[in-house]
Structure 1
């Protein structure tokens, strides 16, 4: 089964997510992630520690909490609460109070990027960070946290009045602490994660304005840009949303060229958006299939395995490191596509991706998933230090277990109408 173009034999053709052992495997991997991140991440001074490869706090004396880290932990432990993981409600509560009391800027509004024990370390207001605030608030609402409605209303207003550009149907990227302009740069990554959060907010509230914004972002980023580029997602734009192929930014957050992992992320998000939009926008499933196929065709290392982090515009690998999150997103995308497209291709790749994760990415000795591998799959720490978060890997484990009907949190609730309310 090394050739992903082959057809599954009838004796082995039933989808893995329907098999009892595989379902047990997925839940076991999810539980292992919770075990690795739960207690060691909780910072008694508020917020959460980032962890090293052994699961110990990085810089415990004065840890910087970035807003996307705080909010991703809230989101993931809200998932834990929904599936019945003991201890999760306490983690959600811990994170929500830190988000509201420390990240929230009571003077200028919005949520600051970085905070430590002494105060604000980076007061900038990032669209990327606010997307995760919206996601965290939406997830916290589903478990009934008492701050969820306040945060949801607050961040919705901030996104609407500070970030959203209705003339194009996307958000502006970043501002100073006082909402002064930092740059005219526009980026797809923040808009992609906002699409995820807007869908979650729509499912949590039923307010269609969230869904409408998500559809407009998808139209801009995918239909207007990625499709004409041969289903390659452009990352960097100027203020008029003209593609900037020469852009060079942070290797971690804004690497040059294209990032196949984001093509995979969009493949799943488009399927979710198509379903939530009552399957009106017929271009989305085809785009999702093609984004997935292109990520495999151009981004997968046929020699060693794994996805190259970035490609140039001639489709040559630039950053050849293999990170944990693209394979996580690929698993989620393959699971979603397999639910609606019975072609063996997506099932075969779902299995191949789990083979790769099991044999190379999951750290069976210490726990968690290795964040970075070299081109030849040796552990490496050039772009990332330690094990940054639970978010991508956890969703890879749990998305295949639940109906492919929208966001993971809503899918969990749809299978269990006895979810308890937060006490």
Structure 2
């Protein structure tokens, strides 16, 4: 094979494997055509020539129309038409092909690599390059211009080296997949950085816009708290104190959200008194509880590990949902309970409201999902809860309440690592 880059002047038929389309798709997945030579293949073909005792060895890949010599020993690799390729014939054979003298073999005696049109090959042996699904992509081929034989050990060595060629190709494919994955991660990271920068700017603007009127509210409520008439009226004083407490918590929450955004959306984990969080929420939504004439029972709640601000938002969304979707045909009742086990903590918010059909429970955790259009809402509350749960590496389960209603259980792990909360 002194010349391997060749375009035939004749049209010759070549056998086509039954799995040709699948074979070509597999070959495309490997991405080895049209790229720099794979660095480990030259050593493999040199070893193949040495083991078989011949001067020439080559890795041939058979594409739809051409034979591509990916690495060669004894000559310079090149490309030829598939119809001129000896390996295009051998890939349809069921096993390794060994031919002592190709001029005497009817499969090859008219091939231009044998007749002298391209070369004067006599001895030829070809071991399949077979992928994991059994598709033959090409061959590891050894040849000589003199008749030759292969011992059983030499044939076995050639077949083992063919499998080694496939290992090299698999390594290349996996390297490409890893590179693509890394590129995807880098693009995603850049997009997250851009998104977080936008979120920080947005959070800063919103906090500024909210804090300005809230400052006025705090000032006026603080002034009310100092008025003698308020101080002398127990009911008025209690209402003013609650207003001042709620407005102060709102101020702190705005500060926490701004701080949260400035950290790139990563929760700030610490020990959290869940009982205190629930009490703060009940104070904040006290007016709504009174308007609904609801009763709220709370059992002992554990100390948990998490982000206090996010957990407060989580509990508030669950309680607000229970109030919003109450059954007007009976008195609204909400129960908040907690338990602890070696793996973590579970708390539940149960109500006796409308309830959620089992088939709808996964869907209500998606953004903007509203099952009842007769109840005011945006469909964001439970989706926000799900985001917070994911950020805590926790688990949220929606069940029915015995007798009717909805029970939402949150299980927080003891050894959770904080995940970023990505807002959309």
Shorter-chain TM range is under 0.3
Q: TM-score with structure 2 length normalisation?
A: 0.26
- Could you say which structure has the higher strand fraction? 2
Q: In terms of Rg, which structure is larger?
A: 2
Q: TM-score normalised to the size of structure 1?
A: 0.26
Q: Which has the higher contact order (CA 8 A, sep 6+)?
A: 1
Q: Which has the higher helix share?
A: 1
